[in-house]
Amino acid sequence: MKEQILQLEREVREAPVGNAQELEAYRIKYLSRKGLIPELFEELKKVPADQKREVGQALNQLKNLAEGRLKELTASLEGSTNGQAQKLDLTLPVNQYAIGNQHPISLTRYRIIQIFERLGFNVSDGPEIETDWYNFTALNFPENHPAREMQDTFFIEKNPDVLLRTHTSNVQIRLLEKQKPPVRSIMPGRVYRNEAISARAHCFFHQVEGLYVDRNVGFADLKQTLYHFAKEMFGADTKIRLRPSYFPFTEPSAEIDISCFICHGKGCNVCKHSGWVEIAGSGMVHPNVLKNSGVDPQEFTGFAFGMGIERITMLRYGINDLRLFSENDVRFLRQFKPVM
Ligand code: PHE
């Protein structure tokens, strides 16, 4: 009998059980009413009285061992299948999900696009790595003209013809080459200038170009379009002012100012106490530009404008340092929601 118990102890401990069926077979073989262990309890009656105590104890130990293993196996099999829910600790704190948000430059770009799309402008795109022709020469910058100096950029030593575009005006030419007027398009994108980085200047920034070429487009159209834009962007009581200016690719040219929406003309830091804030360069497309892109200036006229997205974003959100836009500090970036 002792022999049998020892033998069974080993079996009970080592019997391989890998799934629910084997588990049930295990239970039946060792622990069910007609199983091996209850059978031994039956036989205990026949054991001589002086050994009963000892054998009985061993038998109880065996039974406990088998029941323990059965419990363990049941738990681990449940854990690896559909019993998992029982093991999930729902009181554990979850990993916080950081929800991102849009960059303030993107928010302003979307808003600008939205305003012009409602006027029938579509959105176009052009390369940031550009040739001298599209960035300067086709835009009527004479060779060695000082206007090129105002837009110093990054060149490639191997090929001085290749540069990083200094403005989005290159897309004007590329668009007119591809598409016959009428053309009504805005062209957002990144531009580059060789400038020392400070709170007010950076070696790259963003612009939105606008171009409208058709028969009978006049200066009044330019003015009305930008007036509408200013009111949509900065509020219905915004006024605009046009100041004579110079760009090689527009004639006549004008800088567009808006009335300061912070002090409403009374004078503050943002408008430097002038009551006006500059937001764009603009003008009527120079006939040479139309010619250079294969459009007949006798038949078509147009206006163009270009504005800095950073500048408009700084005005909208009251940001005073350009470097914040490219430093990727989430404490800054997290703060922005669409306005209007
Ligand atoms: N490209 C000019 C600049 O970057 C802006 C501009 C665009 C002016 C279109 C007139 C017309 O300063």
One domain for residues 242 and 113: yes
One domain for residues 111 and 190: yes
> Which range of residues forms the domain containing residue 57?
2-86
One domain for residues 240 and 308: yes
One domain for residues 248 and 304: yes
Please check whether residue 91 lies inside any domain of the structure: no
Residue at which a domain ends, from 86, 121, 149 = 86
Q: Tell me the CATH number at 146.
A: 3.30.930.10
- Gap between the Cα atoms of 284 and 253, Å rounded: 7
- In this predicted model, what pLDDT tens digit does every residue of 245-269 receive, in sequence order? 999 999 999 999 999 988 888 888 8
Retrieve residue 102's tokens. Answer: 């849009």
pLDDT above 90: residue 60:
yes
Residue at which a domain ends, from 56, 86, 116 = 86
- What is the whole-number distance in angstroms between the Cα of residue 135 and the centre of ligand 1? 11
Using most ligand atoms within 8 A of CB, pick from 166, 183, 191, 247 the residue to mutate for ligand 1: 247
Please check whether residue 60 lies inside any domain of the structure: yes
The tally of domains found in the chain comes to 2
Please check whether residue 92 lies inside any domain of the structure: no
Q: Which of 46-60, 185-199, 260-274, 285-299 has the highest mean pLDDT?
A: 285-299
- Gap between the Cα atoms of 137 and 142, Å rounded: 6
Please check whether residue 120 lies inside any domain of the structure: yes
pLDDT above 60: residue 85:
no
One domain for residues 17 and 140: no
- In this predicted model, what pLDDT tens digit does every residue of 268-303 receive, in sequence order? 888 889 999 999 999 999 999 999 999 999 999 999
Least confident range from 172-181, 196-205, 220-229, 237-246: namely: 196-205
pLDDT above 60: residue 340:
no
**pLDDT value at residue 282:** 98
Using most ligand atoms within 8 A of CB, pick from 172, 185, 246, 249 the residue to mutate for ligand 1: 249
Ligand 1 contact, 304 CB (< 6 A): yes
One domain for residues 63 and 187: no
**pLDDT value at residue 151:** 75
Do the beta carbons of residue 306 and residue 207 sit within 8 Å? yes
**pLDDT bucket at 176, cuts 50 / 70 / 90:** very high
One domain for residues 278 and 313: yes
One domain for residues 73 and 109: no
Taking the CA of residue 211 as reference, the ligand 1 atom at the shortest distance is 9
Please check whether residue 339 lies inside any domain of the structure: no
**pLDDT value at residue 83:** 46
One domain for residues 110 and 244: yes
Share of the chain above pLDDT 90, in %: 71
DSSP code of residue 57: H
Taking the CA of residue 207 as reference, the ligand 1 atom at the shortest distance is 4
**pLDDT value at residue 269:** 83
One domain for residues 153 and 225: yes
Residues 6+ apart with CB under 8 A from 56: 44
Least confident range from 86-90, 109-113, 151-155, 261-265: namely: 86-90
**pLDDT value at residue 146:** 75
Across the range 81-95, mean pLDDT stands at 68
pLDDT above 70: residue 28:
yes
Please check whether residue 98 lies inside any domain of the structure: no
One domain for residues 76 and 22: yes
Residue at which a domain ends, from 86, 116, 148 = 86
Which strands form 159-164's sheet, in the order they lie side by side? 129-131, 159-164, 155-156
Q: What is the average pLDDT value for the chain, to the nearest integer?
A: 91
Please check whether residue 158 lies inside any domain of the structure: yes
Please check whether residue 12 lies inside any domain of the structure: yes
One domain for residues 154 and 279: yes
Using most ligand atoms within 8 A of CB, pick from 152, 167, 286 the residue to mutate for ligand 1: 167
Calculate the alpha carbon distances from 174 to 119, 126, 170, 209, 294 in Å. 22, 7, 7, 13, 10
**pLDDT value at residue 81:** 56
- Gap between the Cα atoms of 289 and 4, Å rounded: 105
**pLDDT bucket at 80, cuts 50 / 70 / 90:** low
